[in-house]
Amino acid sequence: MYGKKYTNITSRFSIMKMVACSFVAAVFMLQTAAGGAGAAGADRVMAGTASKAAAPASAAASSVIAAKPRPWIDHYMIHYGQLNDQVIALAQSYQLVILHPQHANLTREQVKRIQQGKNAADPKDDVLVLAYVSVGEDVRTYGLTAEQMRKDPRFIGDASGPRVDPRGPKPGGSTSLDGIEPSGKPSPGGTGFASWYLDDNDRDGLPDRNTYFDVAFVNIGDPKWFDELNAMKTDVDGAAGFGEILTDTYGRALGCDGVFLDTVDTTAPNSYTDENSPNQSEFEWTAPGYLSFVEKLRGAYPNKLILQNRGLFYFDPRLPHYQYNAGRYIDFVLFESYRLNSSAFETFNVNFALDNKYSAMPKLMAEANRPNGFQVLSLGYAEGPAGQINADTLLRKSEVGEKLLRQDIHEAQNIAGFRHYITNQAITLTNDFVLKEGSLKDETAPAWSSTYNDSPAWPPKTVTPRIGIQKAAAYPQGVKVSWDVALDLHPVRYTLYYQDKPFDFAQDPELSKASRLELPLGMGEGYRSGVGPAVYPYEATIRGLQPGVTYYMLIRASDRSKNANEEKNQQWIAVTPLS
């Protein structure tokens, strides 16, 4: 619940935990589906006029995005362990694979073997390979004291850091992130470190650290941090940077197809933690810089894929972060711990699972399905108390927790429309459980949901669906219609049916006599400023209608599976265009 001081530890930090405690320690010890308007009615329908994000984008970057195709992924795998022939063979059966360069001691040969798929001569089974990068924490600082950092020029930089919020302390967060100097101000407690380190938690002149995993937080939006990340090399820094991961000419020249951006949650609202939190992080002022960071990444590597782990607050219009979401530049979002989390003490947290399903997820999917949106992947964990769940069930060596695992697939794929994977807490248990058990056969029509939850309590126990057309406003020779999000195993399209006489659902249930237009997903009026009982994520304006004629209008949702399943709601509105 926003405004409440809480942190979803099991979901916000489970992958970060692997970064700082596991593979980083080892390294240092050793050294796209968019739902845009269809051809039908393209000249008669206009989307909402608001742009997707408030911050301006460069013309070059915008043109890159418009021209860049995004693959649709039905199956993916994530693996943070070593690679052997068995792991590589399984990876070759997926469409997309996420690897951790350091923990795998990754080489170009291994990446190439996976990319070629099972049949190196057949490009149809090629696999996309993405590699891990921590963008909100400097994993090179694992276990280092401030004095040790002072002795290493990599951590000193221009010595103008650590930096703090230029607005001054904002312990409860703020309603706007506009106009913030992206590099912040020098800490009042002193400097001497690189400009990208942060000191908002205590302003003592030392870089703030993730207290769980003992690494330094960083300002993602500091331009010098991008350059630093771009130049990192595994064999020098113990961490791979963009140049090494995405090219075949730098460092280990891994030649991957994209990057997996982790630790984005460093930019979370200040209201998520406070001085009493076990892992305080008061760095929301860096959120606008994240958008600039991703835009720069897209411009530098226009043909590579970008996957963002969590950062779900960027897709919630109730929060100021929404104005700076990078949706138009990224290809995928990973919803880690959507339901099953990595805790050894519980299979899932009921409160967070309900909030994810009935609050975060509908808003996320509303953004994902925009024309310049992204695809959502999800990650669950076969972890929890003994006797309730067992990771061996993923390998079919046990049946413990099988019902929980199947339900996790159903919730993530069939209901939310994600593409799911389940692993162990260390993210090293390669398996084909979801690949084999998660059927993508679609014979069910989309189900309407709502980006506005009218529940007075947290967590919400359900959501009241807002079915079909919700508003219709008359304009000169036109009508603007508004509607909410529908969910399905496959991407959803929305079709407007309209005619100049009442619908006869008994005689014409398929509305074959009505005119029909596939609607573009324009930004709904007021949605950029938050959700509400009369605010909707989508709107479109239909032009060329006869003034003075009453039109009966109805919106139905259908999926983009080969069956094109369409729901049959009968929610209509009558409206008369103005002269």
CB 233 within 8 A of CB 241: yes
Backbone φ and ψ for 109, nearest 5 degrees, come out as -60, -45
- 301 within some domain: yes
359-401 pLDDT, tens digit per residue, is 999 999 999 999 999 999 999 999 999 999 999 999 999 999 9
Same domain, yes or no: 320 and 229 = yes
Q: In terms of domains, do 200 and 302 share one?
A: yes
- Ramachandran class of 189: left when φ > 0, alpha when ψ lies in -120 to 50, beta otherwise: alpha
**What is the model's pTM?**
0.89
pLDDT of residue 69: 64
Structural domain ending residue among the three candidates 437, 457, 490:
437
The CATH code of the domain that includes 473 is 2.60.40.10
| Burial letters 299-318, b for 16+ CB under 10 A, else e | bebeebbbbbbbbbbbbbbb
Residue 83 lies in a domain: yes
Same-domain pairing of 353 and 426:
yes
Going by the DSSP 8-state scheme, the letter that residue 531 receives in this structure is: -
Within-domain flag for 137: yes
Average pLDDT over residues 33-59: 32
Token representation of residue 186: 């020098």
Asked whether residue 104 is domain-assigned, the answer is yes
Give the model confidence (pLDDT) of 500-534 as tens digits: 999 999 999 999 999 999 999 999 999 999 999 99
Evaluate whether residue 548 is within a structural domain. yes
Q: Which of 412, 437, 462 is the last residue of a domain?
A: 437
* Domain total in the chain: 2
* Mean pLDDT value across residues 216-245: 97
Q: What percent of the chain has pLDDT over 70?
A: 88
pLDDT digits (tens, 9 = 90+) for 438-474: 999 999 999 999 999 998 899 999 999 999 999 999 9
CB 567 within 8 A of CB 447: yes
- How many other β-carbons are positioned within 10 Å of the β-carbon of residue 16? 26
Per-residue pLDDT band at 37 (split at 50, 70, 90): very low
End of a domain among 411, 437, 463?
Answer: 437
Lowest-confidence pick of 55-59, 176-180, 198-202, 508-512: 55-59
Whether residue 162 has a cis bond before it, omega within 30° of 0: yes
Q: Is the pLDDT of residue 24 over 90?
A: no
Residue 200 lies in a domain: yes
Instruction: State the chain's mean pLDDT as an integer.
Output: 90
Give the phi and the psi of residue 379 in degrees, each rounded to 5.
Answer: -135, 125
Q: Which domain holds residue 555?
A: 447-575
Residue 33 pLDDT > 70: no
